[in-house]
Structure 1
Amino acid sequence: MRNRAKCKLCGEILESFALIDYVSCKCGEIAINGGDMKYETFAKDYSNFLRVDDEGNEIVVEVKELGKIKELSNEVSKPSRSDLISILDEMIASYENLPPAAGLTHVTQNDLHATLLIISQIFKAQQG
């Protein structure tokens, strides 16, 4: 089925052909996007939105409201000492698994800075 829709207000039939092909009706009530890969729909009021099948038949859509959306917490949790040590161990293992020629390359200031930050956080976690 093609990605087609019809606006009940202005009567315009829309068709989206590609993944990034946003099309809206002339009155701005409805829009579609995504071609035959995504089938995205937009409407100010879905009672004015009809799907149109390949034979031109109009299909009334059924809108299902999502339940209450859970809000994300803004709390930032600090990693534990064991988490920080695991990060450091992973970093060590990644260096040990490098090919021999990579061991001859220079360490950048960013590499050193990241390592020092992790070690510093481990000591701070040990204090607290």
Structure 2
Amino acid sequence: MLGLIGSKRKGTYWNFKQEPYKDSASLLHDLICLANCHHDGDRYLILGVTGPPKCEIKGSVSKQENRKNQADINDFLSRIDFAGDNHPEIEFQTLKINEKEIDVIIINNKRFKPYFLTKSYGKRKLSELTIYTLE
């Protein structure tokens, strides 16, 4: 993780967010985009780090509003209408760096891509049958 943070940029398979997501549609959008990116390996959504150009470790607070854990995200994804019931698989880790906690959502590399919805989702309206990606 330190290498990705130290790069001080976003990449095709990683992204930074300083705060937990306030709305589930934005979280879903970013998870799908990362899951669909062209990269042969896992992808990383790193929470508690500012975006480029500084990529400063701010950390997360244990009782921070909207902070999620693995069970929260897995439950959320299981309720989304993905084509073929094929949804991104994630792992969740909390890491301590410089006495600050950051949360890392690891989107496992799976061959069953692309991921897309069969029903629109959220106020932001992620559209059904649309393939979202970072590229």
TM over 0.5: no
Structure richer in helix, relative to its length: 1
Give the greater-gyration-radius structure (CA). 1
Higher relative contact order structure (alpha carbons within 8 Å, sequence separation ≥ 6): 2
Taking structure 2 as the reference length, what is the TM-score of the superposition?
Answer: 0.20
Taking structure 1 as the reference length, what is the TM-score of the superposition?
Answer: 0.21
